[in-house]
Amino acid sequence: MNCIGKEIDYAAIGRRIKKYRWESNISQEELADAVGVSTTHMSHIETGGTKLSLGVFVKIADALQISADLLLNGDRATSKLSEIDELFSASDERQSRILLEITRAAKNALDRERV
């Protein structure tokens, strides 16, 4: 995904952090302690009231045991990859090779369209 010029939606990241924290039955205080920030700062992160550093972002993902990509992009990226994974998983080796060749050819054709 091309992120050049794309604004980071800190509020959306904060909502995802809160969602996965709740799903993991971790209190805000416990997550803040695990990450090494104050509970107040964690609250501001979850509400999008402050920008978080890359280091804190990675520590949060690690503490919640989820990918940084999931926190950054939500389920969009995961659902696309899951769909592709399902296609390849349901295919034998020959079918997988053909699917990969078709995908590469389609990508090359789309790239040529841009020029």
Question: Is residue 2 situated within a structural domain?
Answer: no
Phi-psi region of 63 (alpha: psi -120 to 50; beta: other; left: phi over 0): alpha
**How is residue 91 annotated by DSSP?**
S
pTM for the full predicted model: 0.63
> 54-86: per-residue pLDDT in tens?
999 999 999 999 989 889 888 765 566 667 877
Does residue 67 share a domain with residue 14? yes
The vertex-92 CA angle with 89 and 95, nearest 5°, equals 100
Helix (H, G, I), strand (E, B) or coil at 15: helix
Give yes or no for a contact between 77 and 84, defined as CB atoms under 8 angstroms apart.
Answer: no
Question: What total of structural domains would you count in the chain?
Answer: 2
- Are 43 and 84 part of one and the same domain? no
16: its two tokens: 């995802």
Average model confidence (pLDDT) across the chain: 88
DSSP states along 58-83: HHHHHHHTS-HHHHHHTHHHHHHHHH
